[in-house]
Amino acid sequence: MSIPYTRIDRQILSELLEIVGARNLITDLEKMEHYSHDETSVEEYGHMPEVVLTPTTVEQVASIMKLASRYCIPVTPRGAGSGLSGGAIPLFGGIVLSLERMNQVLEIDEANLTVTAEAGIITNELNEQIKAKGLFFAGYPMSLETCFLGGNIAENAGGGKAVKYGVTGRYVLGMEVVTPQGEIVELGGKVTKDVSGYDLKQLYIGSEGTLGVITKATIRLLGKPQFASDLLVPFTTAQDAISVVPLVMKGGIIPTSIEFMDRSSLEMSCSYLNESLPLEGVGAMLLIELDGSDEAQVEHDLMAVGDLCIQQGAMEVYIAEDASNRERIWSVRRNIAEAIKVFSPVQSLEDVVVPIGSIPSVLPELKRLAEKYDVTIPCYGHAGDGNLHATIVKNPASSMESWHSIEPKILTELYAFIVGRLGGKISGEHGIGLKRRAYLKSLTPPAEYRLFEAVKKALDPAMIMNPGKIIW
C-alpha cells in the first residue's frame, strides 16, 4: 500500500510552531536522532523523523492531529522509546509526537481507588506518588523505571507480577484519546462495570499508537500488600525448572511471579552486574514471589511452594525475605536483557507466549533451532503466565550476511511452532510494531486479519497514525 504523504515544508513548520511554540518543536538532526529508534536495532530499524513535537496540552495534540489530517502527514506517537518491537519508529518520517512533557498526576482518588495521570508520566514515578497512601498500580511492567504510562497502555505491557495481578489493560478504567482527525474523546471513567455500548477503550489498549493518541488515563489501584517474600530455586536442567511451573500453578496457590532464567541468562546478568549467585551445577533457576496481607499465610504458601519444588527435583530453595536480598535477585532478573545486549548487540529478542500447560514444550524447540542454525538462544521470562523471552544471539564467528539470512528463517520456524503447534501467540507484551508485522499477517487467519484492517480503516482512513505498524 502506498500513501501520498505530504513532506513537511516551511509553511507546515510555521503552522506547527504556532501550535506548540519554539520550545516544543525540534528540527535539529542531532537532537532528533534520539527519536529515530526504540530499543530495537538502530541500524536495522531506525528512521529519522522530519520534526519532533513535545506538546504540553491535549488541545495542542488535537491541533497537531487536525493539521496532520488536513495535509496527510504521518504521525508517530512516542512514549519513553523503551519499546522492543519498533513501535515508536517514524517509518515514513513525518511527525514524532512525544508525550514526554505531559507527565503529571492529575488526581489521586482514594475513595474510588483510582489515579488519573497524563500519558507521559514514568510508571515508577506514578507508583511513588501513590505509595504513601498504601496503594499501587499492579499492572506495571519490568521497565517501570523508564517506561511511560501511555506507552504501557499502547502496548498493553505486562511484567513480573502479571501471574497474580494481570497486565496493564486490566487496570485501565478510562482514558482520554485524540483521534486521527483531532477530536478529543473521553472513554470509560471510574466505574468498574460498563456495558453501555462498545468498550472502545479496549481498542486502544495494545493498539501501539495506530488508532489515536492516548493523552491521559484513569487507572484502578489496589491496596499495597503488606508482606512479600521470594524463593530462588535452582535446578540442574532448564527443562526440570520449566516443567515445575504448571505444577505450581495447579497447586491452588497463586504466586505473584514465577520468573524463569536459564544458565546463560544468569551468567550474563551476574557478569554485567558484578553479582554472584550459587551457579555450580545449575542449569536454570526459578524466581518465585508471593505476597499478601497476612504474614502467616504468605509464610505458609512460601513453604508449600518450596516443598513442591524440592519434590520435583530442585537442588535447593533459597528464601529471600529482607528487602536487600530481594532486590539483589530481582536486579539480576531485570537486567538480563541489557546484559545479553552487552554480550552481543546482534540479536533478536523474542516475546512468545503459550498456554501454561505448553511451557515445557518450548525449550526443546529452542534447542533444536539453536543447533540447526548455529546460534545461541538464552531464554528467560515470565514463565508463570507462559511468556518467555527467547533471545536469538548471533554466533560471533559468523558473518552479518549469514545472520541476515538465517534470522528470518529461525523466526519463521519458531513462530510457526508457537502458534501452530502450541496454540500460542508471537508476542505477549512487547508488541508487533514494525518488527513482527509480516509474521502477524502470515500467521493470522485471513478473516481475523480483515477485521484488524477494518478497524484500522474505520478509525484512521487516511492511514496517518503510526503507519507501517501492526498491519500495513
Report the chain's C-alpha Rg in angstroms.
23
Closest CA to 330 of 165, 149, 145: 145
Over 90: is that where the pLDDT of 399 sits? Answer: yes
Is residue 173 within 8 A of residue 219, CB to CB? The reply is yes
Provide the residue type at 222 as one letter. Answer: L
Residue-level pLDDT at 1: 58
pLDDT tens for each residue of 271-323: 999 999 999 999 999 999 999 999 999 999 999 999 999 999 999 999 997 88
| Between residues 344 and 449, the one the model is more confident about | 449
144: pLDDT confidence band, cut at 50, 70 and 90? low
pLDDT > 70: percent of the chain: 100
Helix axes 400-416, 362-373, angle to 10 degrees: 150
Distance (Å) of CA 361 to CA 69, 95, 133, 286: 48, 44, 43, 17
In the chain, CATH 3.30.70.2190 sits at 227-337
Mean pLDDT (the chain) is 95
Give tens-digit pLDDT for 224-280: 999 999 999 999 999 999 999 999 988 889 999 999 999 999 999 999 999 999 999
What CATH architecture applies to the domain 105-223?
2-Layer Sandwich (3.30)
CA dihedral 366, 371, 372, 373 (to 10 degrees): 90
CATH number of 227-337: 3.30.70.2190
Correct CATH for 345-430 of 3.30.70.2740, 3.40.50.970, 3.30.450.30, 3.40.640.10: 3.30.70.2740
Give the residue-averaged pLDDT of 368-390: 96
Numbered ranges of CATH 3.30.70.2740 in the chain = 345-430
pLDDT digits (tens, 9 = 90+) for 149-191: 999 999 999 878 899 999 999 999 999 999 999 999 999 999 9
Residues 126, 128, 129, 132: is their CA dihedral positive or negative?
A: positive
**What pLDDT does residue 368 have?**
98
C-alpha cell read off for 432:
508487533
Kindly tell me the number of DSSP H helices and DSSP E strands found in the chain. Answer: 17, 19
d(CA 431, CA 442): 16
In the chain, CATH 3.30.465.10 sits at: 105-223
At 145, is the pLDDT very low, low, confident or very high (cuts 50, 70, 90)?
confident
